[in-house]
Structure 1
């Protein structure tokens, strides 16, 4: 029976049903075909306060070599397109999914791109390659060995509680196993924080063990919490074969009965430099070693895991990291080689698997520099060394008490305006600074601390109480602690899924550490209300986004505001890998509020965009709206205050103090011909704006000038023209009478005389303003 519709009138879905699907299923078993397969989750977009997901990417058809391995993608189009019209889209998906073959069809035939040979061809609808043909071509063209085939055939671990690998995890697993099957001994996997490195490692280990390619596995990490998280969560299906190494208790004669061993490398090489690993294991005992977070560690710590790896040199060794390069020490690239696969933060945000983020850059009036008065003394009575102190010094070499207070106040303001229970990490310069910040935040949030004393907790290496609270802080279900102040402890590794605010109040000189800190917030928890996070930067360290090693360039917002700080130079040691505070001056001067009063002078709000833009003006509009509504609450209230304000400029200045530059905002929005009054009403209260010209014309239509005559009328008409060209603030100033066109009418006193004196002139200007805003005045 022929179709009821002509081919050209059919939708893409009709073409698939009537032509493409029958052509493919006649050559392939249905069990090896999936349709409308979702590849990504769809990027989360931040448009002001509105958060929404874009459509996820879906493949029309995927054909599979085995459960682990898609081999080809087919992109369908309706019959109004050519056969090859969808081929480039199919190729894009094939590259993304690491597939050797891409096909497209419009129902008349197929176009093919073979990535293994680089060739393309077209063929008839009934000539689609059979399953056996395409698999044979793949094996021949890729030079697949028997060992690789065995590795391919071993399925992933699946259960009701284990999600199937995402596309990038599948690629990471497959490429790693394939490289091992080909005999590669050292491998590096680079995956952004929050993209499931440990889950990926588990699937690699599971498949290698089940296929018999590996028998004994050592998983190395540098923190107990990372080991415990891995054993309890991702590696739980292997719990019966797992052993956590305990050097003090383990017996060399019985320890050999397990399959997967977890250890801290600090345990295997003790602080006494004793090589405990050689006491417990023979050099050839392990045939697979995974080093988690292999970017980390000081020179001493790095030498520890290097010694372990060199002892077990016959084992295949996999390094896993979110940040593949170091600066001062030998890079992990040098040891492990180029990554077999990289999945970046940028890709994770673009695909919708990671949370996007806003950046609020906060500048204080001492960020560029503060110099003590001659002979000025600190609170102990000691003279403060006379030099210029900058962001690189505060809390490291000198303590400015009011600066800490202002930072804490800004954090509190933000949380009060958004969510007081948003999990927050405040990264401070030192452990001492983290304690000072904790105290300041406690006092500014006493109402919340009264409800639960753990609302703010310091969690640092030396704080035993805080360390006990770490598991509660990173828990999704535990409400408290809400705010954690820290120095280095939370910068890497700890899986803080619900972190919504990251505050940077320390100098960061290492790109590695910076990306790890950002990684504390990138995990998505939509079901728990976390769709994005915010970075609040008090030290101008987000300039590190400009580093070429970052996942995309940035586009700075030129000239936003006037109080921006210059990039500061990190203190000595700030560029080193995490592991300790820079050596302090002894003793550090402490300056109280009487010695140095600090103000926040400027803020920019921005959005990190996976396309490579860091600052987007729309987020500043959002910030503006939030601030205006916080100040005036309602449109009626704002109009009332605007009307009552003798000098309208004071409202503009109030907003500027909060980092909002209306002129720059208007320029960006293409609204330079709009009055500040209209712009504020538009941005904050969604009111349709009038241009200054429209307002001036309305005044003329109402015949406002009829009650004035002669020079007085001429002056007011000139003032209205000035308003139309430059805005309301200029006509409020009596100095305007010293400029053209008023100058030719006489001196200011003479002009005021036409209105019966200065008070009469000011009253006339006020009436003109009322006429300008007549429609709005309440």
Structure 2
């Protein structure tokens, strides 16, 4: 048999598998099936190897070659094109044939001439006739729709990184790039981003079906839940109300499903006709032991054709799509879209270096999407060096599988290394020392203010190791079963325990081997303890990713009641040297956790501006930005030249971005007329670029007032709790020293009012002419209070009132009452000697109201009605608490509940505005 004949036989076989009826010209019968392939069909340029008919209409051509020419199939495309544009005998319509195939016995290439800029691509197998019929019926091809019909992305409810990812992906698809990689940090919402893209591809791109490929059953379940929860921006219905989502649990794909979620293990078993071990879906193939026997190759399955999916979204694409499992992706004629937080060189290579979105862990921390982390080390002698058991020692011997023990002597001296720990030898003391050291560190150094143990995840080596850890944790902490639980695939209720760990108070500590290592969200996690080493850089990054998720204060308090705010960091406790044994791609931003914030600020102001100082300051600023209120942020922004606190931290991180430094160096060289490539840059040029970027990012911190404001914001939020020095009462009463301090406080107040009268709006009111008095507002008083109560003055309303009560007791009223913010008005008036007596603002407003309403009634000749008087009293009470009243204030509860502005207008008519102006002037002035 000649190579040509053999190739034709193999092509015939593939066509028949795909549902084509194959005929020679002499036996031509176009009614024999939906799809008919005619061999050696006559054209005016010679016989075509195969012409394809669908429903009796010619639509495609196949150019067949022997296998030896397989690598050069693209060279035969012009020959295929010639037959496609030739005149076919007995065919009246001479429109060029649309579907072009080149094939050998092993390789099939395909071009759809209706695509924009038609480009051939390799297929695993021939396309079925029904699919060609469907494509012929559509007004546009998928690739044309992607290039021309995708509308602009609505950006509401999307983070900037998610907008960038979806738009970047759609741009790549519009350019017909077959593979695209979305690199987004853990916690940035990769799945939400992917579902947003899937929704748009279905609705606007007209995709038939999309495969969401995962490598563990747990990730598939999690993805399905996110599809069910997703609400698109342009429709109030849930995704699953609009489109059918199937989570594949058998070998049959629902023909009505637009999204299919499957593990790569299940899809491989379907395509290779190899039985599936259900437990295999619980562990990522990347982490599972590699099979020793020869695995079957994927082969054509007519029930699941190569054109089954238009797109494949590959979750955690840095791991399980290589080697044996790559066959699943090679099988389908689909765009491949990868999602990962931890790509490696292999990932970049597989996706043709087409990175459509890149959002690093450092970027996510700077944006507040994730939190930074600190590393705390625990080192023990046995962990480092191992140990030795002497012969004839009586010890437990335990069966690894059953854990059944027997008490017996050791037969010989047994030395074990650190690597053998918890495998051939278990040392309970080593586990106990690590757990006790963790407990002490968390309670005294890491989270000393917490009343409950922060949510903690411990990574164990094996299931047996996890059991040992759990028993010792419960013992060291003196807690019951609920306190510490195991979450591994071998547990029957693993999902239930995981849900409780995520949402409930118990368990406080979870021990896992691999179930929570990747892709599983537990946002309240604040401590990760590594009691196993990890070789894979990507896997280690994924494990660390379990702790990076940010969490708001209310959500954190629901599971950790003594937490005093939002989650701002997590702590990685390294008990096995995993940080040193594995060079990670992300880095802890906090390089100097023991250095005070003011010292870090001083460090960047004076230099040196080394990476550790700059990154530590960045982390501290990003963390502080989550802790302080909007007023403190506004004060900082005022002194930073309009730059928000979080942006100051992000600028420091971006200044040290290696890629950006290289680009700066290249731009600098170009500006000097020097042509450089990245590889030819000199070390001194890169260093100069780094210094330029760091100098620009650090420039705002040259201002001492900004540094002081940042330190003040930190100090205002933080308190020192002295549990050491116990106190006792030795004297009760005012001393001469206390009175002198009170006088000093009063003098500071007077000096401040005089020095700042032109700067603060509220003081302008007291120093202004009478007609300007009505300008006093609650916001002005609040601004003055903010200025007075901050360090170093610390002149709060309570402190000032107390000082006056000590020094001028006979002139001070209401010293025993709780102070209101508006009492500051009375303090200012008394300090400026506008009033001879200091009394609560509300009392003065009440006194003035009585005088005003009596005078007003006398001038009117008729008194206000009882209902009008009651409303005037309500208005007076609002002025007493807010300094003024306007129409907008009638929306507040005490006035709105009585009928609001409409009711007041009905009582006073046009006189209402005049009365409000009078009251604002008379009661406050």
Shorter chain as normaliser: what TM range?
A: 0.3 to 0.5
Choose 1 or 2 for highest CA Rg.
2
Normalized per residue, the structure richer in helix is 2
TM-score normalized with structure 2 length: 0.41
Larger relative contact order (C-alpha < 8 A, sep ≥ 6)? Answer: 1
TM-score normalized with structure 1 length: 0.48
